[in-house]
Structure formats: structure tokens, C-alpha cells
């Protein structure tokens, strides 16, 4: 009888602690964004694409594309192959899936638009590589190698000092 009461007490304490401390971080992630294409191609930016940077969050990896202008179109989606602007040559990407980002903004002078490593994503949960696929006729393409075809979202936010930040978040899990 003592063993039964002790076992029940342990079970009740475990349930109470989980309730107080909360669920694991992965259970708290709301990443029901889907994996279908996002955005439309319509207008070109009135300023160039200047910078790409990345960051890691608890629930997703983030890519930020900084454009000096505003009002531009973009298209983000999974593809079988990311190809270079102008030539159509394939861009090799590490990872199980390839996310193509087309931004209707020309690359700024000095921006490494065809670099195979636009950002260091070593140690990231989802990102495997961020590569430039070139800039041609007012649009720039970026390829992101990801671990798998995971949900993603795209946001646009104003940039301090003018311009726009195009933000692409790719979830760590479904």
C-alpha cells in the first residue's frame, strides 16, 4: 500500500511540475505556415538589394534581406533546382530541399550576388547554405539549402533609415 501511495505521489508531482514549468520549447512553437509559394512578382524596388544576414531562433532559422528601396515584388518557394539569373545554370546547394527567393531589386554594387556562401550558417538547425544565384535585369535570386521541405513564412518590415527588410523564417519542424 505504501508503494502504491508513493508511486501516485511521484506521478502527481511530475504532472504538477510539467504544468508549472511548461511544455518543451518545440511544443510552444507555432509554425503552421505551410510550404507553398509566397509572394508575387509585380514591381521593382526603387533601391538596390544591399545585404543578407541570418539568425537562429528557438523555433526557426531566419534570413533577412535588406533592400534600400520599397514596394518591390518577391517570390519564395521550394524548387527542384535553383538556377542562376541570366544563364540558367544550376546552383548547387547543400541540404534535402531548396528554397528559391526572387527579389525584384538589383544587387547593389559590391554585393556578392553570385557567391556560393552569402552567409555562414554552420551549426544552424534548418539552414544548410545561403547562396547567391545572381542579379539580372533588376532582380536578384538567392538559394537557400535547407535540411528538409519545412514550413516557412515571409514578412516585410521597414528598415531603420529607410528601405525594407524581407524576412524569411524556416521552421525547425512541422
pLDDT tens-digit readout, 55-109: 999 999 999 999 999 999 999 999 999 999 989 999 999 999 999 999 999 999 9
Q: How many residues are given for the chain?
A: 174
Q: Is residue 15 part of a domain?
A: no
Q: Is residue 109 part of a domain?
A: yes
- The pLDDT of residue 10 is 52
Rounded Cα distance, 120 and 129, in Å: 8
pTM of the model: 0.84
Q: Is residue 41 part of a domain?
A: no
User: pLDDT band for position 19 (50/70/90)?
Assistant: very low
Give the chain's domain count.
1
User: pLDDT band for position 28 (50/70/90)?
Assistant: confident
Q: Is residue 16 part of a domain?
A: no
Q: Is residue 96 part of a domain?
A: yes
Q: Is residue 10 part of a domain?
A: no
State how beta strands 127-136 and 97-103 pair: unpaired
Which single residue is written with the C-alpha cell 513564412? 153
Q: Is residue 71 part of a domain?
A: yes
Q: What is the CATH number of the domain that holds 102?
A: 2.60.40.3500
Conformation bin of residue 14: beta by default, left when phi > 0, alpha when psi is -120 to 50: alpha
Question: Residue 116 sits in which domain range?
Answer: 49-171
Q: Is residue 115 part of a domain?
A: yes
- Rounded (5°) CA angle 15-174-129: 125
Which single residue is written with the C-alpha cell 545572381? 134
Amino acid at each position: 500500500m505504501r508503494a502504491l501511495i508513493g508511486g501516485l505521489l511521484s506521478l502527481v508531482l511530475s504532472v504538477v511540475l510539467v504544468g508549472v514549468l511548461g511544455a518543451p520549447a518545440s511544443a510552444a512553437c507555432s509554425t503552421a505556415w505551410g510550404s507553398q509559394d509566397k509572394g508575387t512578382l509585380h514591381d521593382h524596388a526603387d533601391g538596390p538589394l544591399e545585404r543578407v544576414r541570418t539568425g537562429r531562433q528557438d523555433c526557426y532559422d531566419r534570413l533577412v534581406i535588406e533592400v534600400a528601396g520599397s514596394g518591390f515584388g518577391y517570390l519564395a518557394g521550394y524548387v527542384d533546382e535553383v538556377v542562376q539569373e541570366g544563364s540558367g545554370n544550376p546552383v548547387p546547394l547543400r541540404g534535402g530541399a531548396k528554397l528559391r527567393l526572387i527579389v525584384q531589386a538589383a544587387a547593389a554594387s559590391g554585393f556578392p550576388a553570385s557567391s556560393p556562401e552569402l552567409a555562414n550558417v554552420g551549426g544552424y538547425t534548418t539552414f544548410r547554405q545561403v547562396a547567391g544565384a545572381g542579379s539580372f535585369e533588376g532582380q536578384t535570386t538567392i538559394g537557400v539549402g535547407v535540411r528538409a521541405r519545412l514550413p516557412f513564412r515571409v514578412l516585410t518590415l521597414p528598415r531603420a533609415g529607410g528601405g525594407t527588410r524581407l524576412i524569411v523564417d524556416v521552421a525547425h519542424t512541422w
